[in-house]
Amino acid sequence: MKIFLDTASLKEIREAAALGLVDGVTTNPSLLAKESGEPEEILVEICKTVDGPISAEVVATDAEGMVREGHHWASLHKNIVVKCPCTAEGLKATRVLSSEGHRVNMTLVFSPSQALLTAKAGASFVSPFVGRLDDISTPGMELVADILQIYRNYSFRCEVLAASLRHPLHVVEAAKAGAHIGTMPMSVFQSLLKHPLTDIGLKRFLDDWEKAKKELGAKAPR
């Protein structure tokens, strides 16, 4: 599964990218609004930091406006993927943008039927929002599994980008379901690695090694 970071923070992206495990980045208007600086400059810097798909979302609500904004985002860097909301206008814009060769990430997807239309419109990525469904007592991961099944049935090439992942178990479940990509905030990315037994085990190995070295050192001839 490819790992995307769901943030517009360059500090976080640089830190995570240093591990060599970040395959792409998703941003949205809320995430960009949290950062200081011009969105265009931030997006270009992100593209320079991570060589993979970088989602930039349109804010127009009509298809024409979305296409215009999509052209603007796409002109910034070859890695930019235009993010459109899953509305009737968003589907129209996706058709236009994808037929021109631009990659589209359809966002705010909450049902299998929306995902079916997304693939038919030619989107390259579909973003089911797992956490936001869980928030309203609807099992978000079932949506990921349903979309994967539908896309497999018809060999759609649209990649399933599990989004709104809020904790490490969401990532594991998305991977078990076979999602192509999981996008997550930095805190979730960091929690994927953490295990107390790893820390305890490493400390014990190092302590034993130091102890043995001291004992050997004491016995060793001068």
Identified binder of ligand E4P from the candidate list 127, 173, 179, 188, rule CB under 6 A: 127
Tell whether residue 129 is a contact of ligand E4P (CB under 6 A).
yes
Tell whether residue 7 is a contact of ligand E4P (CB under 6 A).
no
d(CA 28, CA 32): 6
CB 179 within 8 A of CB 147: no
DSSP string for residues in 37-66 = S-HHHHHHHHHHH--S-EEEE---SSHHHH
Please say which residue, 55 or 98, places its beta carbon nearer to ligand E4P.
55
Minimum CB–partner distance for residue 104 and ligand E4P (Å) = 13
d(CA 104, CA 124): 5
Tell whether residue 114 is a contact of ligand E4P (CB under 6 A).
no
Which residues from 176-195 bind ligand E4P, rule CB under 6 A?
183
Q: Which stretch binds ligand E4P (CB under 6 A): 137-145, 161-169, 193-201, 210-218?
A: 161-169
Return phi, psi of residue 111, to 5°.
-145, 155
Minimum CB–partner distance for residue 54 and ligand E4P (Å) = 11
Q: Which two tokens stand for residue 119?
A: 């693939």
Tell whether residue 26 is a contact of ligand E4P (CB under 6 A).
yes
By CB under 6 A, the count of residues binding ligand E4P is 12
Assess whether 48 carries a catalytic annotation.
no
Catalytic residue among 34, 83, 194, 213: 83
CB 172 within 8 A of CB 138: no
Which residues from 73-112 bind ligand E4P, rule CB under 6 A?
107
The residues facing 83 across adjacent strands are: 57, 105
**Residue holding tokens 């989107």?**
123
d(CA 218, CA 214): 6
Minimum CB–partner distance for residue 213 and ligand E4P (Å) = 48
Tell whether residue 132 is a contact of ligand E4P (CB under 6 A).
yes
Please say which residue, 94 or 164, places its beta carbon nearer to ligand E4P.
164
Task: Give the chain's length.
Answer: 222
Minimum CB–partner distance for residue 92 and ligand E4P (Å) = 21
Burial of 100 (0-12, 13-18, 19+ CB in 10 A): exposed
- Catalytic sites, residue numbers: 83
Residues that bind ligand E4P (CB under 6 A): 6, 26, 28, 107, 127, 129, 131-132, 163-164, 166, 183
